[in-house]
Amino acid sequence: MSPNKREREYARRRHEQWMERQRTAKMRRRRKRIAAIAAVGVLGIVGVIALVSQTANKSAAVSSSSSPTTPSAAASATPTSTSPSTAATPPSPTLAEARAWTADLTTSAGNLGITLDGALAPQAVASFVYLAKLGYFDNTSCHRLTVTGIFVLQCGDPTGSGSGGPSYRFGPIENAPADNVYPAGTVAMARVGTDANSQGSQFFIVYKDSTIPADTAGGYTVFGHVTTGLDVVTTVAASGVSGGKTDGPPSIPVTIQGVAVK
């Protein structure tokens, strides 16, 4: 082979080797791009899953309550946390000071005066006083009226849905009547059926003598009595339940505008 031919052959081989290196480098870069795109895709999927999971958890935190179906004065649903201003644990019963308190409720239907029994229901009174001083009940509706079987107006839920309450629950039941009779004017804590430790902010006012059977958890915590303004509640009750039902929102909307305790 002549020198010129050998040089041309050598140059051809060098060119082929250079082309092979270029192809290898190109394939390596392509594999890296594919891996990067795949990683971004996985991150995107993980992000979507995390977002869906967070959304589902938030939804569950709001809607995981169980609703009692008994025609009792129990809360319409398990109270869920709705107020960041309340503590995670209920106030100490010592806040009730083992004494009588007065609570003046200003409502859109008229005013009510209530005596709270801090001696016989210290935990419930401590909670009510604590929430009232926070302004927790201000501008909340009395969302439930019953006109058959039992006769109560239920209030204290800041959501107005029957499922609201502070960020704590408390128990056990205090000062429940042994005979299950709740005279007109009684103010008692609402709760979930069979759960003595589900008391929160919802309470009911009895406007006509009612027999409310105890369940496996017991009766209902009686923590106060209406001293003035019960006629406001009876007037609301006389107008019935919205839609002509026997249990539901009152036809005359009732909003608690403020609660002063002393």
pLDDT values of the chain reduced to their tens digit, one per residue, 262 residues: 555 555 555 555 655 665 566 566 666 666 656 554 444 343 333 333 333 233 333 222 222 233 333 345 545 433 443 444 578 899 999 999 999 999 999 999 999 999 999 999 999 999 999 999 999 999 999 999 999 999 999 999 999 999 999 999 999 999 999 999 999 999 999 999 999 999 999 999 999 999 999 999 999 999 999 999 999 999 999 999 999 999 999 999 999 999 999 9
Q: What is the pLDDT of residue 51?
A: 31
Neighbours of 195 (CB within 10 A): 18
Q: What is the pLDDT of residue 163?
A: 92
Q: What is the pLDDT of residue 21?
A: 61
**In this structure, is the dihedral angle defined by the CA atoms of residues 83, 121, 108 and 262, taken in order, positive or negative?**
negative
Note whether 211 and 84 are same-domain residues: yes
Given a contact cutoff of 8 angstroms between Cβ atoms, the answer to whether 75 and 60 are in contact is no
Q: Give a yes or no: residue 72 inside a domain.
A: no
Neighbours of 207 (CB within 10 A): 25
Note whether 208 and 182 are same-domain residues: yes
Among the listed residues 174, 182, 181, 200, the one whose alpha carbon sits nearest the alpha carbon of residue 77: 200
Range of the domain at 147: 80-261
Q: What is the pLDDT of residue 87?
A: 80
Q: What is the pLDDT of residue 84?
A: 42
CA distances, 185 to each of 16, 64, 77, 254 (Å): 101, 33, 24, 17
- Count of residues in the chain: 262
Contacts of 91 (CB under 8 A, 6+ apart): 126, 127, 129, 130
**Final residue of a domain: which of 33, 64, 95?**
64
Note whether 98 and 171 are same-domain residues: yes
Contacts of 234 (CB under 8 A, 6+ apart): 207, 208
Scored b (16 or more CB within 10 A) or e, 94-115 reads ebbeeeebebbbebebeebebb
Q: Give a yes or no: residue 70 inside a domain.
A: no
The domain total for the chain is 2
Note whether 60 and 84 are same-domain residues: no
Contacts of 43 (CB under 8 A, 6+ apart): none
Q: What is the pLDDT of residue 26?
A: 60
Note whether 30 and 119 are same-domain residues: no
Q: Give a yes or no: residue 225 inside a domain.
A: yes
Note whether 34 and 98 are same-domain residues: no
pTM for the model: 0.72
Given a contact cutoff of 8 angstroms between Cβ atoms, the answer to whether 104 and 111 are in contact is yes
Note whether 38 and 109 are same-domain residues: no
Q: Give a yes or no: residue 69 inside a domain.
A: no
